[in-house]
Each structure stands twice: as C-alpha cells, then as structure tokens.
Structure 1
C-alpha cells in the first residue's frame, strides 16, 4: 500500500527541510511529474521514498520504518535464514556451482549475480513456505490465492504484501523487500558474503536437487510461454 501523501510530505520536510521539490527530484533522479502525480493522488510509492532516502544518504529501511505500515522494520535487522539467502542466488549461479564441484580442477565461478534475479520473489516465498504460508497470507491480507500466485509468477511483490508474507512465515521483515528489488541486501542488514557462504555450506546433493527444481520450474514457465506464443500465432493466422 503506497504511503499517505501527508505523512510522506512530513517525512520529506524532516529529511530535506530547505529543499524544493525540484531539488529533491534532481538529486534523487525522480521525475517531477511522477512525484507530482503521486502527491495529487495522495499515494506515494515506497520506491519514491527509497530513492530519496538513498540520495540523502539515509537507509531506506530505517526511513520506511517511520511509517506505521512499516513499523515492523524498526530495530536491529533480523538475519535472513540460510534458505532465504540461497533463494536469492540466481539459477545460473547454482548451475555454475554444480559444474565447478562436479569436475575437479574446474576454476571457481565468478562472483554471484546481483539481486534480485528473475525468479527471486517466487524462490523466496518457496524458501519460507511450510505448506500453509499462502493460506495464512490470504487470511491476513484478504488477497485471493490466485492473485498472490500471479504476483509470484510476475516476480513482483507489493511491499506491504512482502511484509505480510514475512510476518506470516515468522522470518525477518526485510526479506521480501530484498527479493522484490525495493531494497538491497546491505540496506536490509544482510551479511556481505551471506549468499556465498550459504551456497558454500550446501552439499553437492543439496545443490543438484535445488538446481534441478529450479530448472523444472523454468521449463514449465517456458512451455507456457511457447504455448501462449503458438496460440497468438494461430489467432493472427485465422485473422488472415
């Protein structure tokens, strides 16, 4: 849920009391029309606050925590679970690790890809799901299960839904914000080498199993896309 305009403006006045709207937009890289439209609608996107916070050298997690909806972010960062860390490793990096471990003498793969990766949101939810998570999130937020699944398929998770999912899973509140790309690992207080360390602790069997699951899911997605493309082609052919 976007931030209330009045609350955002109070926050902005505290952050940059002497700056004009033009000044704020210039230093943060936000278009003036974008900010103006959000203020007129009375709803300011969380990403706007994040961009402004970064521009003024502030931690966006701590700044979000000053709003009631994100008060759960207050306090010391909650460390991510090993499963959460691994969920934020791209599939290609998992495959490189499998090859490197399976063939003695192979050079170590390059550093891990940045976050978020193309399936980061779904992987994060899968990593913290005990089998009933989607049901609990649906009950807590009122979101229909199919709509929640649509967010995961699109690799997007609204910040307030990410917070609700973290709460329902009993994990740190910032994990979904990292997976969704709103904040970085560092801003969330995750350890600098946390993902790599979590990967190194996995056995080869665990690594191969996870990589296989990721590839299977990718295969299903690609098949759906191919089927959709074929249906579109047939429609155009029929239209002549």
Structure 2
C-alpha cells in the first residue's frame, strides 16, 4: 500500500512551496513520468517521499510521519534492541568476527577489526523478523493487517516487506517502528536515529558462544538457500535439455 496522492501533494507543498514538479524531480533524481503516473493512480510510493526528503535535506522518517500509516514513526521512537542490531550484521561479517576473536591475543584481546558492511544485507528482513519473533508474531501481524500468513511468509522468503507491513511487524513485535524500515532498506540507520556504531557494539557484546552459535545458524540457513537454488537450477537445465 502506497501513500494517498492528495496527502503527498499537501506534504510536498508544505516542504517545498516554491518548487515546481520539474524542480522536485530534478533535485531528487525522480523521473517526471514516474511521479506523474503515481499521482494519476492516486498512490505515491514511500520511496518517492524518501528520495524527495533526502534531496531537500529532510529526515525521511520524519517526512513519512506526516502520513497516517506512519504517524507514530517518530513520536513513538525507541532504540533498537540488541537482537535487532545484530540481525543487521551480515553473515560474512559474523564469520569475520569469529575469525578475529579466534586470532586475537588472549593477553590483551587484540585483533584486527574490519568495518561492518552497511545495512541492509542479503537476509536483513528475515533476520530482523526472527530477532523480534516470540513465536506468535506472524499470527499477530496477519490478524492486524489482514495479510494471509502464507503471503507474509512469501515476502520473508524473498527477503522483503512493504513499508506498511514492516511497521505493522514492528508494532506486533513491540519494538521501535523504524527497525523494519532499516531492514528493508527504505531508510538508513542514521535516518532511523540509531546510534553510531550501534551494530558493532551489539556484536561486540555477544559472548564467544553466542557469536559462534549465531554464525552457525546463519550458515545453516545459507546452506539451505544455496541447495534450493542449485536444485532449481538443475531442474531448469533439465527442462531446457528436454526441450532440445
């Protein structure tokens, strides 16, 4: 679900009253035809608001809060949980952390640290939902939004969630409303108000056992994904062979 075009136009007039549509598209990198089509359909994509906000030097999260779907985005702001932060650390970075700790000097704890890859990563959405799921999260989201559990699961399998569904998931999980928007890549950590180096600090706070266990879980999930892709590729090749 996108944002109502009328509400978008009211917001745009309030933040850039003297700018034409052409000016807005020029500074934000949006195509005029794309914006025009969205306005004609009466639904404007959240990414459009984010792009325009960045171009105008506005915080995208605060801009989205002007729309009813995201009204509580900043008003009910709260910091991400340690589990959410670690969920946004890429699997390869987790493995690097394991290696770094293993190679560290036990006398002084020294080791060569590598900067974490920026969020989101290849499994950000699935990891984030798993991090806040108490076992009943999917059912609560389905009941609150009307989205069938299988459709919700399909989005997670594809590592994506619509912005509206991401916020609904945050509400159902009882966490800050910006976490899902960071996981989906709609806004950045800084735009969500996450502290600098928050992910690194959460990663450093894991015990060696917790870190290795988490890395193992990620590798197991990655292995399943790769095996499924290999099987699908093999099936595709077989079909082409049969077709001659």
- The answer to whether the aligner puts 1:72 opposite 2:95 as a matched pair is no
1:82-101 to 2 correspondences below 5 Å: 82-101=82-101
Aligned residues: 240
State the shift of 1:61 in Å. Answer: 0.6
- Per the TM alignment, residue 66 of structure 1 is displaced from its structure 2 partner at its CA by 0.9
Q: Does residue 204 of structure 2 align to residue 200 of structure 1?
A: yes
- CA RMSD of the aligned region, Å? 1.1
Can you list the C-alpha shifts for 1:160-213, whole angstroms capped at 9, x where unaligned?
A: 000100000100000000000000011111111100000010001000000000
Question: SS of 2:71's equivalent?
Answer: helix
The equivalences for 1:48-127 within 5 A come to 48-75=48-75, 77-105=77-105, 107-127=111-131
Distance 1:104 1:15 in 2: 51
Match of 2:165 among 156, 161, 164: 161
What is the CA–CA distance in structure 2 between the aligned matches of 1:74 and 1:91, rounded to whole Å? 30
TM-score normalised by length of structure 1: 0.98
TM-score, normalising length: structure 2? 0.96
Residue 220 of structure 2 corresponds to residue 211 of structure 1: no
Aligned match of 2:8: 8
Please, which runs of 5 or more residues in structure 2 have no aligned partner? Answer: none
Residue of structure 2 aligned with 1:239, choices 237, 240, 243: 243
Match of 1:221 among 222, 225, 230: 225
Aligned to 1:175: 179
- Shift of the alpha carbon at 1:104? 2.9
Q: Partners in 1 of 2:14 and 2:130 — Cα distance?
A: 39
2 CA distance for matches of 1:87 and 1:186?
17
Per-residue deviation at 1:76?
6.1
Q: Distance in 2 between matches of 1:155 and 1:203?
A: 28
Structure 2 CA distance for aligned equivalents of residues 108 and 32 of structure 1: 48
